[in-house]
Amino acid sequence: MPEGEVVLITGTRKGIGRYLAEHFVKKGALVEGCSRAAPDWELERYTHHCLDVADEAQVRAMLSSIQQRHGRLDILINNAGIASMNHVLLTPAATVDQIMATNFRGTFLLCREAAKLMQRRRYGRIVNLSTVAVPLHLEGESIYAASKSAIVTFSQILARELADFGITCNVVAPTPIETDLIRNVPREKIEAIVNRLAIKRLGRFEDVANVIDFFVRPESDYITGQVIYLGGVC
Amino acid sequence: MDQPRNRVNPSRSDVVNMVLSSLEEVLTMADGHSPGAIGEETYLIGRDAVLDSMGLVTLIVDVEQRLEEDYGVVLVLADERAMSQQHSPFRSVRSLADYICRRIEEQG
């Protein structure tokens, strides 16, 4: 990637987000990240913002800060997400509101405000994270998968609306990876999901970064509105 | 968070000039040359509009950014109210400037 690109990643305190922050710093990027709680780590060329991605004013303030300090934003990766595994009949309405707020409203707000900065230079790369739970229609994940399905549809339409501004928008949909998100999912359930993949293993952070690297290359300017499912799910 | 660089609210003529300057930039970018005469009466949407829909989006985003950068005024112009008003505040330079001034006044 070109040296000095400015990359914004949401949900960087741990898991995939943290890995991606380190990955892009290693590649020479200036990385901005956010999460609700402060991380217990620091990184050179990395700036952290404590905020809720579903809070419009906080998201705007973060993007203003990026514009003032860097004068540009090249890449946005919407990784922040929460999950709740439960049978529909046992799912509280408040859980639905929380999941949709963080996963979908947060992605929408970040995309909108980031695209406002990106369109100034007629260049931008947006990557949103979905999940294989969408095409696999996994029981117990209806609300989480629905929120991530919304991200797919939103991204595909966003890709069309932003194309004239030189901004691409694509989706990477990981399989289960060893993160906190699946910590409370029973082992047999994870094994059952892995058995439905073409490539029968858990995902790795590197698998996600590999697809993102492809989407965000300057040469990928003819790739937009695409969804790549990991593990051979389709 | 960073503080706005300038806390003095813009006057109405500042806002009109800002919208016109932004409009000129958007039209120049679209056509590759300077636009003809534009003023408060210039229509932004409708049959006589000087902009297409993408041009309007670019204009609104640019005006939002100028308000924030030049005056520290943070507004999302395309809010629920603007989208539901029978007479769109985006129909002309004048109506857009009036709408921005009203919103700034409400913010105090």
The two tokens of residue B99 are: 């709408």
In a domain, B5, yes or no: no
Rounded to whole angstroms, how far apart are CA atoms B48 and B58? Answer: 18
Whether residue A51 contacts residue A58, with contact meaning beta carbons closer than 8 Å, is answered with: yes
Does a structural domain hold residue A26? yes
Q: State the smallest CA–CA distance between residue B1 and chain A in angstroms.
A: 7
CB contacts, 8 Å: B74 with chain A: 57, 60-61, 64
State how many domains chain B has.
1
Give the domain range for residue B22: 12-107
For B17-49, write each residue's pLDDT tens digit.
999 999 999 999 887 767 788 999 999 998 899
Q: Do A65 and B1 touch (CB under 8 A)?
A: yes
Cβ burial B62-84 (10 Å sphere, 16+ → b, else e): bbbbbbbeebbbebbbbeeebee
- Decide if A68 touches B, using CB distance below 8 A: yes
Instruction: Determine the angle formed by the axes of helices B53-71 and B12-31, rounding to 10 degrees.
Output: 140
CA–CA min distance B5, chain A (Å):
10
pLDDT of residue B5: 52
The single-letter code of the amino acid at A105 is R
Q: Which of A4, A12, A66 minimizes the C-alpha distance to A30?
A: A4
Which residues in chain A have Cβ-Cβ distances shorter than 8 Å to B58? Answer: 119
A144 classed as catalytic: yes
- pLDDT-wise least confident of A24-33, B6-15, B50-59: B6-15
Per residue in A8-49, pLDDT (tens digit) is: 999 999 999 999 999 999 999 999 999 999 999 999 999 999
In a domain, A36, yes or no: yes
Asked if residue B7 belongs to a domain, the reply is no
CATH number at residue B90: 1.10.1200.10
Query: Is A1 within the bounds of a domain?
Result: no
Residue pair B49/B30 in contact (Cβ under 8 Å)? The answer is no
Q: Which of A61, A67, A119 sits opposite B58 (nearest CB)?
A: A119
Looking up residue A155, the CATH number of its domain turns out to be: 3.40.50.720
For residue B53, being part of any structural domain is answered with: yes
Answer yes or no: is A173 within a domain. yes
CA distance A28 to chain B (A): 25
CA dihedral (A26, A29, A35, A39) in degrees, to 10, reads 40
Identify whether the C-beta of residue A54 lies closer than 8 Å to the C-beta of residue A102. yes
Range of the domain at A175: 6-232
- Distance separating alpha carbons of residues A134 and A130, to the nearest angstrom: 8
Q: How many domains does chain A have?
A: 1
Residue A55 lies in a domain: yes
Contact A65 B76 (CB under 8 A): no
Which residue on chain B is closest to A61 by alpha carbon? B1
Q: Is the pTM of this model over 0.80?
A: yes
- Residue B1 domain-assigned? no
Kindly state whether residue B50 falls inside one of the protein's structural domains. yes
Q: Which among A146, A141, A216, A143 has a CA at the least distance from the CA of A176?
A: A141
Q: Tell me how far CA of residue B44 lies from CA of A22, A234, B13, B79, B103, in angstroms.
A: 45, 44, 18, 18, 19
H/E element holding A30?
A: strand A30-35
